[in-house]
Structure 1
Amino acid sequence: MSADPWAWCYYSRLRLAGGQYQVSGHEYQVEPMRCDDRVQVFKKATQMGFTELLIIRALHALKHGRYPQGAMYLFPTSDEVSLFSKSRFKPFLSANRGAIGKYVRETDSVDIKRVGDSFLYFRGARLSQTIEGTQKTSSKLKSTPVDAVFFDEFDEMDPESEDLVIARMEHSTVKERTYLANPTVPDFGIDKLWQQSDQRVWMIECDHCGRETCLELEFPNCLKRQRDGSVIRVCKSCGGEIYPKDGFWVPQYSGKDITGWWISHLNSTYKEPKELLDAYENPDTDLVRFHNLNLGMAYIKAEDRLTVNDVLLTCGPDKMAMSSDGPCCMGVDVGGKLHVVIGQKIGDKGIKILKMVRVSTFEDVWDLAQKYRVQSAVFDLKPEIHKVREFCATAQYSCFGCDYSEEQKGVAAWNESNNVVTVNRTEICDASHKLVTTPGRLELPRKDAEVEEFAREAVATAKVLEEDKKTGSMVYRYRKLGADHYRHALNYLLLASVRIQAVARTGKGVVSEPIRWVY
């Protein structure tokens, strides 16, 4: 291959959105632009220039035949593809017609560009189609063989899209994958991948003592207020002022299969250290957004995500019950397997779970309902709408399919005519979170393998603040972090419990109480 991507960019004097490319202020970009490792992860703050960097790297590789089958550059949605293509990619080509534009030929679509003898595909990672009720897919992601894939804003993408896209490289000898994102939740998305990498950080050599400091690892102690009110970056060893231009990349764990980079606004010459320290010390600052967007660090408040320990602390001394005289309530999440949670309402606001199990058919669920004397059940309405409605119509007890809706606010809406209960997804997840964390409200069976699986799935969702694509306003939503079937089964159980009598413990066992509790 001809000159490496960085040299090509620098000596061709490519013009980017902010003007002609220059090394000054972007020293941290040189090594990543030259890197051709198979799997790379960029955990970063906003506006650090990596989207342009990766596009340049892809164009250089396509121009020189490194990706004969082409490359795919993914954004979370198709709308973002269209916006990027029109507002950034097309102007970039126009500004660099001699170095790049002459090699890129227009097609009839904004999401396909011919570069030399190959193609650069821009795609949205949203999966909108469903196969047999459970498997999400996308024809645009399935039908395109490529040699390299770039995931931009990986944390915002459908988790299922990654495997679908990687499968497009099965017939490639190159198989390059690059992930890029502002991190969100710990142990999820870009943060999870970066933890599996060699974890490269930008080490700055001190002019005074010769020792090295990583600003990201030392924050906030790496920033120091001066008497005049200004703030400087300081060496962790001697306290002398240090400068990002004197940095270099150092892996914390050598020999890993994944190359990982972490960079933040602490190393940006366009962000004053004082602005960062002021924001961090301001009690009104949203620390989640500050860590995610300014520090490039995964962060979540304790009240926005359950932990496995939170769940297991609710375990009682009793093993799972083999049956029950009732009255019981039941929540069922519908997918490849049906995740079933059965319990009783205890007193005013308590639930004792008697059984949690994964079964294969609706007939299995029917048998469980009979065995535990279920009087109220709520199912995941989708994707098996017809089967759920058939079950509800046949059941001789309160039985509803649940539809999550952002428009539904406050208490759940129970439609007796079609057996559908509508509830706000964020609000019911908040309610189940509170059920787990409020002492004495939830009792699980004694810990065993299934209870541990329940705990793992119950915590595989977290509350994050994100932009509503329709309105542009910021809203809280629960983001799926992995298999979370049992969490939703718990949500449905909580809904079902509203429509049965509570049982109260007495010296002789349990007695029924009137229905009076609303979650």
Structure 2
Amino acid sequence: MLLKDLVGQSQNGLSFPEYCLKHIVLDDRTPYNVFNRAYMKEIVEAIFTHPHITITKGAQTGQSTLFLSHSFYMVDIHGANVIYYLPTDKMAVRFGQTRIDPYVERSEYLRSRMLGTDQAGLKQIGTHFFYMLGLMSKTGAISIPADEVLFDEVALINRENMDLAQDRILASKLGWQRYFSTPIYEEDGIDELYRESDMNKWVVTCEGCGRESIPEEEFPDNMRDDRAKGGKVYLACLKCGAALNVDNGRWIAEHPERINQRGYRVPQLAIREARLDLIWDRWLKAQGKPEKIARVRRSALSIADSGNMQPISSKVLEIVEAAGDYYFQDRSDIQCAMGIDMGDRAHVAVSAPWGDGFKVIAAFHIDVEDLLPLIPDWEIAYNLSALVIDAMPYKTESKRVVRALRRATGYIQYFKPNYKETTEGEDEKEVRVIQIDRDESLDEMTSYFGTNPPQALLFKPRDTKEEKTLDEVKRHLKKLVKEEIVGPDGQKKISYKRNTENHFGMAINSALIALMLRNHGGSISPENILTAGKRKIAQLLRGYDDA
């Protein structure tokens, strides 16, 4: 009833399923039946009744077609303005040309409804608009008001720009948000949004014994391959062995109390006609190859798995937590190092040497304007020997922090390909500068957490406040994820993702660099702080042996 209450009765009385059957023609020239898969019924109902929908999906599960058709319906029948976001402008234009335009061309009705502007990234139906925009920059996130925003390929969209784009619906009575994507990174992108929702899962009931199961969570134990006996590959009940009918299922929310955010996980295994033989063959061939296993888990199971592209995962942090046996520290008798990631808020990590590695003994996140007065107290309390702070985006404030140190040696930090130590400014304004390769330093830092047993530890919280801080630290460490980019030389390379909420991870990285610098010598008394760890870092840093 929500839609009718807000925008009135549809112009021609067609329901959305009727509209799709009558006016949406698929690539194979058949009418679009939104209920051709059992799991779709509740999702279709939800997108017309619930303001916030998240769908983490396997490949080819029909969500893009559903939301594209939904967008036509909303603009055409209900006079809404809709924005369909994709990660980049190039993807948005290509989507318009290869997906939207063919739907219009195949439907005499849709062709007749197009008015005025008819571009790949903009369709006008009547007096309302259907936009296709990229979110690589903030430009696509501003200026255009809308009643509904849809985000496709969320796993690849810049989160900050996506948050800005949500402002487009503030003036609308509807104000609907829809997010859908195949997951990549654990607790990042679409997986993070799904975990914040009520987390509906498709639960299948065995027609043989009545046992309920979630197929993707029992994969691969529930797969049976009878092809050698003239049979087929099928999903089996783990209790009685009967073949599962995935249409005999229902959505069950893991967190029904989260009424403000509806979420669904849609794996390929929930599709009755899914090619289970191909999925199974891909899985068998992927064994021993983490990246290929990750692709199958993402596309077939709709489970976030980045392979080697997310060095610090939940499993890694479970091992780290089990190895740690110390609490958040307010002070330290041994010399420590501090790393600070600068932004709208400053994220601070204090690290102490530990064996061949290090341990994080304290972490803070504070307003930038409150940072400077705390430096003298922290320097004494944590017996700081070195501090490394981002030069950007607040270089003036970062320099003030370095100059506020009385005993410790401070550096402002730039991420550049070649390792270098230098200075900026003159006389009393002079500060030390460290420039270092971002990807290589992060590879080194994350490797300390990733070894088993770990060579990096995290503190245990003493109270609720510290528990929240620790949760944020772990969340930011998991967001130190990699992606494939094209470098300045035009060559593809794997690099740590930028513009993501990994601030504590970057602060811990700076604290580790500060430990290395403390051991480097110079004006600091040489003590063996990182032992073998120091040598490991030194080998990593370009030019270190020659510095």
TM-score band w.r.t. shorter chain: 0.7 to 0.9
RMSD between aligned alpha carbons?
3.9
- Cα offsets for 1:215-243 (capped at 9, x unmatched): 33443344211123731234556534455
| SS at structure 1 position matched to 2:14 | coil
Q: 1:298 aligns with which of 304, 317, 325?
A: 304
C-alpha distance in structure 2 between counterparts of 1:28 and 1:185, whole Å:
28
Check conservation: 1:17, 1:88, Cα contact below 8 A: no
Q: 2:265 aligns with which of 262, 265, 272?
A: 262
Shift of 1:56: 0.7
Shift of 1:199: 0.8
Q: 1:339 aligns with which of 341, 344, 347?
A: 347
* Aligned twin of 1:279: 282
Check conservation: 2:20, 2:33, Cα contact below 8 A: no
User: Which stretch shows the higher mean deviation, 54-63 or 163-172?
Assistant: 163-172
Shift of 1:152: 0.9
Shift of 1:394: 8.2
Q: Structure 1 residues 468 and 17 mapped into 2: Cα distance closer, same or farther (>3 Å)?
A: farther
Letter in 2 for 1:43: T
Q: Structure 1 residues 442 and 284 mapped into 2: Cα distance closer, same or farther (>3 Å)?
A: closer
* Aligned twin of 2:541: none
* Aligned twin of 2:200: 199
C-alpha distance in structure 1 between counterparts of 2:528 and 2:199, whole Å:
59
* Aligned twin of 1:512: 527
* Aligned twin of 2:513: 495
| SS at structure 2 position matched to 1:500 | helix
Shift of 1:288: 1.9
Check conservation: 1:37, 1:259, Cα contact below 8 A: no
* Aligned twin of 2:234: 232
Q: Structure 1 residues 104 and 209 mapped into 2: Cα distance closer, same or farther (>3 Å)?
A: farther
Give matches, 1:373-452, under 5 Å: 374-389=384-399, 398-404=409-415, 408=417, 413-418=419-424, 420-436=433-449, 441-442=455-456, 447-449=461-463, 452=467
* Aligned twin of 2:181: 181
Matched, 1:81 2:87: no
TM-score under structure 1 normalisation?
0.79
Letter in 1 for 2:349: V
Shift of 1:190: 2.9
| SS at structure 1 position matched to 2:109 | coil
Check conservation: 2:283, 2:293, Cα contact below 8 A: yes
Check conservation: 2:158, 2:500, Cα contact below 8 A: no
| SS at structure 2 position matched to 1:330 | strand
Shift of 1:93: 1.7
Q: Structure 1 residues 388 and 17 mapped into 2: Cα distance closer, same or farther (>3 Å)?
A: farther
| SS at structure 2 position matched to 1:81 | helix
C-alpha distance in structure 2 between counterparts of 1:210 and 1:391, whole Å:
65
C-alpha distance in structure 2 between counterparts of 1:90 and 1:395, whole Å:
62
Q: 1:48 aligns with which of 42, 61, 75?
A: 61
Q: Structure 1 residues 28 and 403 mapped into 2: Cα distance closer, same or farther (>3 Å)?
A: farther
C-alpha distance in structure 2 between counterparts of 1:122 and 1:81, whole Å:
6
C-alpha distance in structure 2 between counterparts of 1:317 and 1:262, whole Å:
37
Letter in 2 for 1:427: E
* Unmatched tracts of structure 1, length 5 or more: 129-137, 504-509
| SS at structure 2 position matched to 1:20 | coil
Letter in 1 for 2:143: S
C-alpha distance in structure 2 between counterparts of 1:202 and 1:262, whole Å:
11
User: Which stretch shows the higher mean deviation, 79-88 or 260-269?
Assistant: 260-269
Q: Structure 1 residues 213 and 179 mapped into 2: Cα distance closer, same or farther (>3 Å)?
A: same
The number of residue pairs the alignment matches comes to 488
Shift of 1:493: 0.9
* Aligned twin of 1:364: 373
| SS at structure 2 position matched to 1:61 | helix
| SS at structure 2 position matched to 1:107 | strand
Shift of 1:356: 3.9
Letter in 2 for 1:339: H
* Unmatched tracts of structure 2, length 5 or more: 1-9, 425-431, 538-547
* Aligned twin of 1:289: 295
Q: 2:123 aligns with which of 101, 113, 122?
A: 113
Shift of 1:183: 1.9
More strand by share: 1
C-alpha distance in structure 1 between counterparts of 2:119 and 2:375, whole Å:
51
C-alpha distance in structure 1 between counterparts of 2:252 and 2:328, whole Å:
49
Identity of aligned residues (%): 18
Check conservation: 2:376, 2:405, Cα contact below 8 A: no
C-alpha distance in structure 2 between counterparts of 1:272 and 1:120, whole Å:
34
Letter in 2 for 1:114: Q
* Aligned twin of 1:10: 21
Q: Structure 1 residues 514 and 476 mapped into 2: Cα distance closer, same or farther (>3 Å)?
A: closer
Check conservation: 1:45, 1:264, Cα contact below 8 A: yes
Matched, 1:160 2:167: no
Letter in 2 for 1:382: M
Check conservation: 2:352, 2:360, Cα contact below 8 A: yes
Matched, 1:146 2:146: yes
Letter in 2 for 1:156: L
Check conservation: 1:346, 1:502, Cα contact below 8 A: no
- Cα offsets for 1:162-198 (capped at 9, x unmatched): 4423332222222222110112344444334434226
Letter in 1 for 2:268: H
| SS at structure 2 position matched to 1:261 | strand
Q: Structure 1 residues 401 and 315 mapped into 2: Cα distance closer, same or farther (>3 Å)?
A: farther
C-alpha distance in structure 2 between counterparts of 1:48 and 1:211, whole Å:
25
- Cα offsets for 1:33-77 (capped at 9, x unmatched): 45412222222111222112101111111111252xx11111122
* Aligned twin of 1:457: 472
C-alpha distance in structure 1 between counterparts of 2:263 and 2:530, whole Å:
55
- Cα offsets for 1:268-326 (capped at 9, x unmatched): 4664212222333342342222111221112466963242672574353784217x6x7
C-alpha distance in structure 2 between counterparts of 1:337 and 1:351, whole Å:
25
Q: Structure 1 residues 433 and 211 mapped into 2: Cα distance closer, same or farther (>3 Å)?
A: closer
C-alpha distance in structure 2 between counterparts of 1:386 and 1:328, whole Å:
25
C-alpha distance in structure 1 between counterparts of 2:248 and 2:223, whole Å:
16
